Homo-oligomer: A and B are copies of this chain.
Amino acid sequence: MAKFAVIKEHIYQKIESGEWPEYHPVSSENELSAEFNVSRMTARRALQELSDEGLVTRTRGSGTFVAPLKSQSALLTIRNIADEIKMRNHKHHAVVRSLQSVPALPHIAAALQLDPEGHVFHSVITHFENGQAVQVEERFVNPLLVPNYLEQDFTEHTPHEYLCEVTPLTEASHLIEAVMPTKQTAKWLDMHEVEPCLQIQRRTWCRDGVVSQATLTHPGSRFRLGGHMTFKSTQRSSRGAAKGSTTGDEQ
């Protein structure tokens, strides 16, 4: 492996394992060049590419630091409903409808890459924006990777926030559909059963496997999923490759 790649891997491991939390200082170019016995330019390349990938932030004169996970989320276009609501200066609260261990149905076990015999953790939470229901979040969680899931208070922090903390996400896959709500979902969302819903199914991975599978259901009338992308490419290298905002309120 190339030397710069060795250094990248070393730093990546520190971040991914949680040994270096957000904003933790990363060794300077000079330190790395001494530590790995390479030139400063080589150490620099490692840091530069990590910066391009959004894993660290660099400021001249100050140093290199582990980037807040939030910016990773931006890359992944992973959405946290609570953050979005707060970003609009609205009030968020959540009601936990269910939180327990359930037998793994075959398709759930398959989605989580688990033994079909076992159990999985299951939560159903309704999210409110200014007192109005905007999302029903049904989630199946891998108990091997997140053993303490059931003991969390999800009125304080969303499952997404908790999962991001305990298992740094590395991958996500989304499936977006328009569906009619089930009777139960319509009731939770306080909406008519004939109104369409925007439903996002999301699976997230960490290094060790599938973390969770979530189904996020929004009333069509109260929710839009927005995104903006650009490749100006005239400014900074790859940082500008794909900058995605997530929430509507455009134009």
CB atoms of A175 and B248 under 8 A apart: yes
Mask of A6-39 contacts with B, CB within 8 angstroms, 1/0: 0011001000000000000000000000000000
CB atoms of A49 and B238 under 8 A apart: yes
Residues of B contacting A110 with CB < 8 Å?
251
Q: Determine the distance from Cα of A175 to Cα of B228 in the docked complex, in whole angstroms.
A: 9
CB atoms of B180 and A196 under 8 A apart: yes
Q: Determine the distance from Cα of A69 to Cα of B232 in the docked complex, in whole angstroms.
A: 15
User: Chain A: interface secondary structure?
Assistant: mixed
Contacts A75-B242, A179-B220: A228 and B52 contacting too (C-beta < 8 A)? no
Q: How many copies does the complex hold?
A: 2
Q: Determine the distance from Cα of A16 to Cα of B232 in the docked complex, in whole angstroms.
A: 11
Contacts A177-B198, A196-B179: A53 and B229 contacting too (C-beta < 8 A)? no
User: Does A143 interact with chain B (Cβ within 8 Å)?
Assistant: no
Mask of A168-196 contacts with B, CB within 8 angstroms, 1/0: 00111111111110000000000000111
CB atoms of A55 and B176 under 8 A apart: no
Residues of B contacting A77 with CB < 8 Å?
227, 229, 242
CB atoms of B227 and A198 under 8 A apart: no
CB atoms of B176 and A226 under 8 A apart: yes
The smallest beta-carbon distance between A235 and chain B, in angstroms, is 8
Residues of B contacting A241 with CB < 8 Å?
52-54, 75, 238, 241-242
The smallest beta-carbon distance between A88 and chain B, in angstroms, is 16
User: Does A250 interact with chain B (Cβ within 8 Å)?
Assistant: yes
CB atoms of B233 and A177 under 8 A apart: no
Q: Give the residue name and chain of the B residue nearest to A219 (CB).
A: B178
Contacts A111-B251, A238-B49, A242-B241: A233 and B12 contacting too (C-beta < 8 A)? yes
21 contacts between A and B (CB under 8 A): A50-B233, A52-B237, A76-B242, A77-B242, A170-B230, A171-B230, A171-B232, A172-B228, A174-B225, A174-B226, A174-B228, A175-B248, A177-B223, A178-B197, A180-B195, A196-B196, A196-B220, A237-B238, A238-B238, A241-B241, A242-B244
A residues adjacent to B (C-beta < 8 A): 5, 8-9, 12, 49-50, 52-55, 72, 75-77, 110-111, 170-180, 194-199, 203, 218, 220, 223-234, 237-238, 240-242, 244, 248, 250-251
